[in-house]
Amino acid sequence: MPPADPALARLLPHRGAMCLLDAIESASAESIACRASSHRSPDHPLRVDGRLPALAAIEYAAQAIAVHGGLQAAAAAPGLLVAVRDVRLHAATLDELADDLLVRATRLAAGAGGLVYAFEVSAGARLVAEGRATVALPGSAGSAT
C-alpha cells in the first residue's frame, strides 16, 4: 500500500508495503516528524512469527531520516544507514500499540561524508524507541560520527 502522502513516495527509495510512513507531520531544516499506522497491519513486511519486533522502529526512523534528507536536497541520492548507536527499546513489539507512531528525527551533525541523527519513536504518550543513526552519503570517502 503506497503512503497516504504523495510526497513520501517521491522521497523514499522504498516501494509498496515497505513504505512504512503515512504522512509528514512537520519538518524544518534540522528535524522532521512523521506519522505511521502500518505497524498495526497484519501483513507488515517486517513481521516475524506474526509479531512486529520493536527493532523495526529503527526502519521507521531510517525512513523519516531519508524523507528529511530528500526535503533538504532537490535531487538527493539515497544515503546508506551505516550505524545505529545508543538504541533503547521501551517495548517488545510494535504491533499491539493502538496509537499511530510518531517518528521524530533531528540532525545532530552533517559533513561531506554523512549525517548523524537522533531519533525517537512514540505511540501516544509512550516512548517506544530512541537512539542515533549514522547515514553515509553517496560518493563519500569518510563518514560523519
- Determine the Cα–Cα distance for residues 86 and 112; give it in Å rounded to an integer: 23
**Domains (ranges, CATH) in the chain?**
6-136 (3.10.129.10)
Q: Which of 72, 65, 69 is nearest to 132 (CA)?
A: 65
Residue by residue, DSSP assigns the chain as: ---SSHHHHHH-S--GGG----EEEEE-SSEEEEEE-GGG-TT-TT-BTTB-BGGGHHHHHHHHHHHHHHHHSTTPPP-EEEEEEEEEES-SBSTT--SPEEEEEEEEEE-SSEEEEEEEEEETTEEEEEEEEEEEPTT-SS---
pLDDT in tens, 79-128: 889 999 999 999 999 999 999 999 999 999 998 889 999 999 999 999 99
User: What does pTM read for this prediction?
Assistant: 0.90
- Give the pLDDT band (50/70/90) at residue 145: very low
- Determine the Cα–Cα distance for residues 57 and 122; give it in Å rounded to an integer: 9
